[in-house]
Each structure stands twice: as structure tokens, then as C-alpha cells.
Structure 1
């Protein structure tokens, strides 16, 4: 589907985020809920396949039954123009396979926490009689808060779904396939338990227990080979924790945990000190009645137990019979040898041995009176490992009997060591790898560290040796910096602006100003303006309102500093120049002067100050104090606009200073 296509009038496609063998997955906006969702769309080449469409619809039906925080939610299912789709919860994070590759080694307690959430989800599915059948790390998401989400019930089976029939097709991923499924049997809940044991093994060791040259060889190992010990990989792993792996992956389903709930209860106590000396888990001894066996049926005469005499007789007859046949064989060898020696060497045509095993080739050469010569090996993309590529001389050539014929044996396809492609151009890398036979897939991500088109991650680790034609390698490719349109922040609070900046990785700086139109605390202006394209880590500026500018007060307060001179000689009379308005005040000061006492030979001057302003009257004493030296005084005045203030200073009853003062402009 194209970007910006609106599916069913509701879901606006943003971009593709994944590809699978059955469906493609897109990120979309739900125009009704205003949330992002993941939409799984059945591939166009499979839309006409009725069986595939039924499986796809079965996934939707199975998933909608399950409501659990550790299971990806299914919101909607539908069909548009014959195109089937499922609308699911969009999980921001990575699948467990990538998580293991990125964070291994994982602490044991973290492993237990992850498995506990997986087991909770599987138990819910089993309670609804739904078997997943394809449990693997690639189908388990871990979000940015380390919560588990199981997805992809595309091959899930409802136990009561009678429309399903058993086939020999192995639908599950072979690395996590139970022995009974590998043999072509029907999957059960214990099959899911087995897959959970393999997932636990991978969490503890960083790898799957069985590898092979083909899916068939891996499947065979699941029912023939014992699970390798996780303690051999990491001796620090407690035996109790290894026992959970062994119990879950027992070959016989009857020896596995009865339920995911039981497995969870066991793993959650595996690190406890009380289980420190636990013995290694061994499954019960059982008669495997499910296997096909060849049973020797004795003759009726042998059904009774022979006595000792009869036994000795039987042993003698066997020895006699052996020497008889040995003699006959010896005579035949002598006879054949004589014939060969007495005969001339004949011409022999070298047979076509291509595709045979070395043993088969040697036998065929012997049948044609030829001997095996030098055996060499080389890689071959078309001939299976340990099979004959060709003979030397070549097939069809005529040689003499007993000639030696060399064999060239295949080592199988040559493995290639995967390089580190992070930072390289995806188009160039994909072109090179496809020529080598790799299947290359691509997912995209915005990035501030990598330019558009550069690879940011690869799911096959560098240094791993793989067979190209059997390998799918997925690259995460940068689309460049995430670009968004600057939002209109009008009427946002400072907290709302900061939240917006945090969500989009922006740097914000605040300033403030008065505004007669914008309420205090809300945004007045912003830079860049709304609608401007910006990238992550861009700087934005926001001005917040201080509210209306305050009105200038009606009065002004100011001060004036004066120095009052000290007069060492005082008089007891009142100055004749004192005005009538200060007569009473001067008399009072003169009285104080006459009563002044000397202190240590220093005569005090008594000072009285009067001021006239908005709050004081000139006829009322403002300050009064004695001085024995020149003294500074600070006078504070409060006046209304365009008004003046006055002051008078009287020393020992004599007016010595007076003036009118104006408020500074």
C-alpha cells in the first residue's frame, strides 16, 4: 500500500514496518482514535489462495479472543477490494531475537522476568484452547519499558476447530519445533511448552541448541539429539535453572510441564538458595510405544524355555553351521581369484557417480571392477555435502579393469562470513549480497546519527558464517532525521510546551513579557512559527505572558541625605531670626539646650527636624536627636505627581537649614 492511503476510510498508512512470508505490516494513524496502529495486510500474491485467507482470518479470530497485557491486541479486522487486513496494537520496541543479540549476556533474573511474562500470555492462550504453534523470539516483542507482547497467531490452532486437518507440512520455525511436530504429528499445548524451553535456552546462551545445513537436519536433531547443557556454556547457571530448560524440552511430551503456569512457578524459584544443591532433572523411564519397532516373533517351538542340554545343542549347531559357511566362502574366494588372475584386463566405462555418497560410489566402482583412487573435497553450491561432484577421469571414459578412479566430494555450499554493514549504503550492500545469493529485507527508522539510506542495524551479526542461499538478512535503514511540522503552541502552559519538546526531542528556551491580551502563564509567541518543518534536537523559543503591565503608582517616594554641622558653642537664647511658625518648637528646643549636660567635656547639640510631604506636616516633629559632631541624616519623602516637599532643621533652637525638594524625574 502507498503512503497516505486511507484504508476503509479510517486508517491512514504512514509507512511499511515489516515483511513476512504471509503478510506485510504497515504503521498507520487511526483517524478515529488519533492513535498509531499496526496493520497486517495479506500479501497480494496470496489473496487468491483460499487456504491462506482462512489461516489469516483464523489468526484474527484467535487473537481477538485473547485480552492480556502480554498479548498484542487486535482492534479490527476487515477487507477492502478483496484485500484482507488486521488492525493491531503498535508496539514501540524490538523483537526478542534482536533484544538477545543486542543485550546478551542477559542477567539471570532478567531472563526469569521475561520468561514469566511470556508464560503468563501462553497460559491465557491455552486457557482458551489456543495453541500458538510458532513460538519463537521473532514473534515476541519487548517494548521500550521491557514489557513482553506475544504476537502472530497466524498458525495458531483452536483445539475445537474441526475444520483443520493434520498435514505433513511443518509450519513452525524449525529451530523451535517440538519432536512430535518434527515427526509430522499434531501440535499440542506441550508443543508450545517445548518451544518455550528452547526460547529459555536461547536467552541463557545467546544461541539455539541445534544448527544444521538444512531444515530437515535440524528437525531430526530435535527428536534424536539431547539438548546441550546450558551449564557447559555458562557454569555459573544454577542447576535449578538448567532443570527448567531440561524439563520443558523433554523428548516425550508426557515428561514436560503440564502447563505454562507450572513452568512459571518452577522458574521463579530457580535462583533461590534452597534449590542451590538441586540434582539434574532426568525424565522418567518410559516405553516409547509411539515409535515403530521391529519385533522378532519366535516360533511356537521356541516359546518354551529350553533346558541346559538343549541350549548346548543349539550352540553347537550354530558353530557347525558357521564353519560350514566359512569353508564355502573360502572356496569361492579362491575360485574367483584364480579366474581374475587368469583373465586379461578388460575395458571398463567409468560410471556416473554424481550425487552418490562416498560409500555408494566406492561400492559402484567395485561392481564395475574399478578401484577408488584419490579422494578430494571442495565446496559446491549445487551438490549436497558428502556427495560426489564428479569422478577423475570423468564419467563415460573407458579405462582398464582395476584402474583407480578419483572422487571429488562436495563440502556443501561455501559459507561466507557476514561483514559489519552498519553505516554503509543499503542499496550498494543489498545489490552485492543478492548477487551472492542472500535474501535481503529492509525496515526503516528515522535517525539523527545516520544519513538517509545508511544501514543502522543488521539482524545477522557480523562475523557469523552462513550459507547465502539459506540466509535472510534484514537491515534497518535510516530515513534521515525525523522531520515534524512545528505545532501551534498558542495558549500552551510552560509544562505543556516542555512535554511537547520532550516527546519530539526538541530543545526549548523560555522568556517572558507583559501582555494585555494573553492570560498570565500562557504562550504569547513562538519561534519557529507553527507549521515550520523542524528536525529532532532543533532549538525552539517560547515567550510566556506575565499578564497585564502594572499601573504606575500615584505617589513617588524618594530620599535626600544632608549633613548637620555640629556647633561646639551653644546658646541658651532663642535665635531672633526664628520665624513665628517655629516659635513654640524653638522654645522647646531652647529648653532642651539649657538642660543639656556635658559628657566628658563635649557639649551636645540637640537637633529637631520637620518635613512637609503627602504623609507628614511641617508643624510636627519628624525626628529629634542629639549630636556631638557633624552628622549625616537621610530624609525620606513621599509626594504626589508634580508636588514638592519641604524640610526644616533646628539646632539648639536655631533654624539652620530649610529647603524645598522635588522628586527626581
Structure 2
């Protein structure tokens, strides 16, 4: 049956952007499609959550949260997460489309891999997990199905963070157990708790499977397999594939310890040990073992060792390691050498087979101790060929990091930048190889620079006081920036008009947010203006007018002598303004020009009232009446909202009349 035709999503466009082309896989949590991103014109993988899970709000919330965390993880050996969205009932994840096959498909075809090839595959897998662990992510579903091999030979780990979202949902766990029970750490079975050491356990199980062609614990039911993970130890791989070096047994034993404290404490630590063992393997070990191991004797035996395939070349920037060409170093005198590879017992009495297997387990115990001692000897022999990436590299400025690495003879290159809540913008957020890991002398270290903190929306502070606005910004994680004041007819004095960047825009909290505060309305100059006209003008601005009288015989009657607040002061609607008005008749008219008709200058002309007029028309009217004009923008309406002198005012010919729009 053609599932592509039958699938109703094929042919649809989700979120107006992702055109679904075909279905490629279906799992317990979601279905994966090949889709085309019509906006960026590229092919992607679209993971669409099953409808029954999409109804669980708590599950969807956790799914989205983990997807965001996974999207922030930038590493060449990790399948990139581009976008997350919802279209009706469809909750989806847009990811990098990887053309190739899974590690499971390779195992199905090959049966098992040689030691060198297995460790070469494990190193980029562990590098991806190490990057996740440094970012605080736990994969929780490490298995060959989640390891992709590109057509160019690059290794990519998929589904970061999604397993965590799945275990957090309210659905039953049956599908989860069936799919991943072979790789569950004992603590996951007993308590459901998992941390980075649980990923290390799963990686150890996967290494066992690469070396032997089978999982260490099998059973008729998932519960039976889970019971074995809790109660049985993982056997040494060499018990199934005679001739495997004892160092590989030690790797598996360390990673799959029942006690998490005895395992490597994260994938980066495990990677360092794996890299050391890989560097010490003889270059021809895969070929030698392929010819030394006979075919299996029954259905439960391990599959035959195929001829080795050259390790795929990693894509640029991917995790890679040039393996040492020398054979294993000689054992230091006084130490126990690792046990020789025991040949498979010839066909004959069953007692001889049992005796050989039993003796093998005794030698394994001795070999484990010898492997530890041998590891030190290996390190001593090859230490001069490697450097370690400085532990303090993360957080350093780029130039300082380059200088430090150059002192060790290492070549520095920079990869794509990433957001980081811990590392300042422009500083080193991560390195590949990671801090503390080994790199060949003269090798390349790729630095990932921080773009600063993940962008978040600027909170809305309009209408708040300056202090309240600053507190709101700080609580959201931003730093308040410069404060400027701007006149406003509508926003009361000392309240926030807007911010820059504006409210709602997503910006990095590393960027300061400037605040624009209202200076209120500008108080006009009303001195020598008719008291009634002045009071009406102020009331039109929404101000409370208080009139006080004073007797000055040398000034015109009913004109403003003083005002409080003074001209140019910022005021808000409802503020009180006091006008000092002269109520005494002018007695010095013959000798004081200000007494002339109560209007001051005897040559004064009436100023046309232009309130409400178009600015250009108002300018023409005022100039036609013999005045100069000064235009100010306050609201930007294009129509006059205020003039000075006010309505029915007078001024000498050529006086500069101010208007605001």
C-alpha cells in the first residue's frame, strides 16, 4: 500500500510555509515527512506530532519548550532544529533534512563493526552528546535509530530534547518502553529519572551493539529486558567476539556501570576515554579480526564480521580524529599484560567449550585492571602528539582565545554563532573539540561565538512612571538605557511615552532599552496677554487656572503681569496654573506706551486667530498680517493646536508669532 497517497497531510502546506511532499517514517510520538520550505526554498524534515498527543496541553507545552532548547544547540554532529509551530490541530517541528540512512540500517546490513570503525563512529556521536550536556540538555533516547549517516559520511544525532518531552506527557509509556528499553539506564527503570550519565549508559550499550551485533540484554517482554538492566551487568564484548582488545571491554564496563557515579560523568568525559583507546588500536585490527572470527554456531550467536569499510570522511566542521598508526605499546615491566585473544574452541565435547568460556571470564577480570594500567602507558607514549583544549576557553574573548590556542600550536577557526544566556556577546560560547578534550598537535579547534542572550520581547511600559518602567525592564532581564524627554499633549508629564526598541519587539537582553518620557505640554508665554484670552487658552489645554489680582498703575488693566509655572515649563492636564492679573487702571497713559488701550504698544497689530487651520494656510495668514512665523511640531497633526500670542492677541509688526501643530 502506498502510504504517501493515503496520508492526508501529503500535499498540504502547514503554517503557509511548509509543503508536505512525502512521509518517510512514523514513530510512537510523531510522523516524519519530507517537506519543502517555500519561504527559504529548501528541503526540510517535518516532524508532526500525533493528534492524540496534540490534545494534551501539558505535553504540547513541554514539547515546545524542549524544541526551543534543542534549536539553540548548534553543533555539526547534531540534526539542526529550524522552527516549531502549530497549524490547526497539527503541532510540528521543522528540522534539517539528512539524506542518508540510520546507524540501525548500517548494523542490519553489516551485522557488527570492527573495533576501529566502531570507535570512529562513536566519537562524533559522543561529541554531539557532549555539546548537549554542556548546554544542559539530556537526550534520553540514545540509540542507533537516532543516529543518521549522511551520504557524505558525516554522523548526525537526531531528536535532542524530544525524548524528554515525551516522557513528561500524560500518555502511557508502553510505546516508549518498546522503542528504547534496550538502552535504558537502571535509574530510568527504577525511578524514571535521567541525567547526562543516563545518556552515557545508553552510549555504552550502543558501543556494545556496534562491536557484537546484538544488545546485551534481551527478553520476551520489555519488562523482562528492563529487569535485566537493573539486575544484570553488561557482559564484556569480548565474551561474544573473541579477540577484541580488553580496552574495549573496559570502555563498555565503565559506561554501563549500575552506579551512575562510577560512569564517566558526561559524554565529553566518555569521549576523551574513547578517543584515547581509538588512538592506541593497531591500524589493521579490523582486518585481522575479520579474518580470525569464524561464522556463528546458532541463532543467538553474533553475526559474522564483514570486511571493513573505510571510515566515512566527515563533513567540514564535523567531529573527526586522525587515528594513531602505531600498534599497542609494550606493557611496562611489572604490570600484567592484557590477555591474548583466545581462539574459538574447535568443534568437540561441550565441556571444552564451557571451560574456554569460563576461563575467558577469569581473564577478563585481570584484563580490566591491566587495561587501566595500559591506558596510562598509552597516554605516556602518545602524549607528545596531542594537546588539550584549555578548560578556560569558554567565556574568553575571541582574540584572547586565539592567542591562548596559538601558544599550543593549534589552528583556530570560527563556526556559526549561537545565543547563550551565560556567555557575553562576542565571547567564546563553545569549542570543538570541547574544553579539556584532546586534539592533535597542530590540529584545528573550531570556536563558536556567543550572540548574547536569546532574544525576548521588550515589555510594554507606556504610561508607567520612570522608576516603574526601569523596574519592569530589569525584572524582564533588560538593562534600562538612556532617558530622553519629549513634549506630549496626551501623555502626562513624567510618564513613559515609549521605549526604543519598541514594546513587543524581540531583542537580546544584552541590548539596553532606552526610555522616552513625557515632558508634558510646554507652558506658553502669557505675560502682557489679555487675562481672559490667557485663561481661555490655558483651559483649552486642560489646565486648572487660578487668577490672582494685583494693582499696578503703570501697567494696562486686565493683562497678565506674571505666570506660574513660567514659560517653557512642562505641564500636564489637570495641573494648576496661576496668573497674576492687573486690576488697576493705568494712570500714566500720556507717558507710558503700555497704557495705550490696555494693549501695550500703540503700534501693535491684532494677531489673526489661526487655531485649527492647516499649518501652511496659517503661515500665509500670519505673514499677510505683517508678522514673522515660527513653526513647532508637537503632535504632528498638520493643523495648528496652539499659537503665541493667543487668540485676539496683539503684537508689533514683524513680531515672530509661534504656532504648534
Q: What interval of TM-score do these two structures reach, taking the shorter chain for normalisation?
A: 0.3 to 0.5
Which protein is richer in strand relative to its size?
A: 1
TM-score (normalised: structure 1)? 0.40
Between the two structures, name the one with larger relative contact order (CA 8 Å, sep ≥ 6).
Answer: 2
Largest Rg, 1 or 2:
1
